[in-house]
A and B are shown apart, each in its own frame.
Chain A
Amino acid sequence: NAGVTQTPKFQVLKTGQSMTLQCAQDMNHEYMSWYRQDPGMGLRLIHYSVGAGITDQGEVPNGYNVSRSTTEDFPLRLLSAAPSQTSVYFCASSYFTGSGNTIYFGEGSWLTVV
C-alpha cells in the first residue's frame, strides 16, 4: 500500500453535511480511482481519472464529486451526506506497464453518516 495515502482514516458525519476525502500518491501514476466497499460485497467503482484534468463516472457515482487538478491528488467530495453513504472508501492508483496494469490501494477511510 505504500505510496497511496488517504485521509481521514475515520469520519462521522451528520446527514446533509459535506466533506472531502483526500487521496494522494507519490508514484507518478496516471490513473487514480475511488471505490467503496460494503459488507458482503466487493469493491465498487465510484469515479476514476486517467490523467490530470480528466475524470469520469464509475458504477456508483451519485452523491459524489471528484476533481484531478494534479497528477498526485484525487479528492472525493460528498456533497450532502446520506446514511446510504456509510461505507469504507478506498483510493487507488495505477500505471500502464505495456504488459498490463496493476492497481494499488490506500488503506481506506471509514465513513459513518448518522
Chain B
Amino acid sequence: GQQLNQSPQSMFIQEGEDVSMNCTSSSIFNTWLWYKQDPGEGPVLLIALYKAGELTSNGRLTAQFGITRKDSFLNISASIPSDVGIYFCAGPVGETSGSRLTFGEGTQLTVNP
C-alpha cells in the first residue's frame, strides 16, 4: 500500500528553538493531516491540508502541502516543553478517502527546558 516516509525519527531540542519535520510519499495525496500524540493518549489532529501549495497555521504550528502533492512539512516555532510528543503525518487512502488513513512512522520530539 501507500507509504509515508517521515523524518527525522527523533529530535532533541532546547526550549525556544524552532522545529521542522517532513513527510514524503511516492504517491500523490489529496489531503495531508498532521497529528500529535501525547503519552497514553490517542492522536489529536493539529492541522489538515486540502490543496497543493496550501500553507496553514495553528498557533505556533505551520504546515504546508507540497506543490507536487507528494510531500508535506510541519514547523513548530519557539518550542515549549508541552510540545513534547510524537508527531505523525497521515494521508487518506482508497476510494472512500474519508474512511481510512495511512501514517508515517512518527517523529518523537523532546524539548529540554
Q: Mark B17-53, 1 if CB is under 8 A from A, else 0.
A: 0000000000000110101000011111100101000
Give the residues in chain B near A99, CB-CB below 8 Å. Answer: 50
Q: Mark A16-60, 1 if CB is under 8 A from B, else 0.
A: 000000000000001111000000111111001110000000110
Q: Give the distance in Å from the alpha carbon of A13 to the alpha carbon of B92 in the complex.
A: 32
Query: How many B residues, CB 8 Å from partner?
Result: 29
Q: Which interface residue of B6, B30, B33, B43 has the most chain A CB atoms within 10 A?
A: B43
Q: Which interface residue of A48, A90, A95, A101 has the most chain B CB atoms within 10 A?
A: A101
A76 CB, nearest partner CB in chain B, Å: 14
Within 8 Å of chain A (Cβ to Cβ): is B73? no
Do most interface residues of chain B lie in helix, strand or loop, or is the interface mixed? Answer: loop
Within 8 Å of chain B (Cβ to Cβ): is A73? no
Indicate if the CB atoms of B45 and A103 lie closer than 8 Å: yes
Query: How many A residues, CB 8 Å from partner?
Result: 32
Q: Give the distance in Å from the alpha carbon of A39 to the alpha carbon of B101 in the complex.
A: 18
Indicate if the CB atoms of A59 and B1 lie closer than 8 Å: yes
Within 8 Å of chain A (Cβ to Cβ): is B15? no
Give the residues in chain B near A95, CB-CB below 8 Å. Answer: 98
Taking A42-B106, A99-B50, A100-B30 as contacts, is the C-beta distance between A105 and B99 under 8 angstroms?
no
Give me the interface of A with B, judged by CB distance under 8 Å: 1, 4, 30-33, 40-45, 48-50, 58-59, 90, 92, 94-96, 99-108
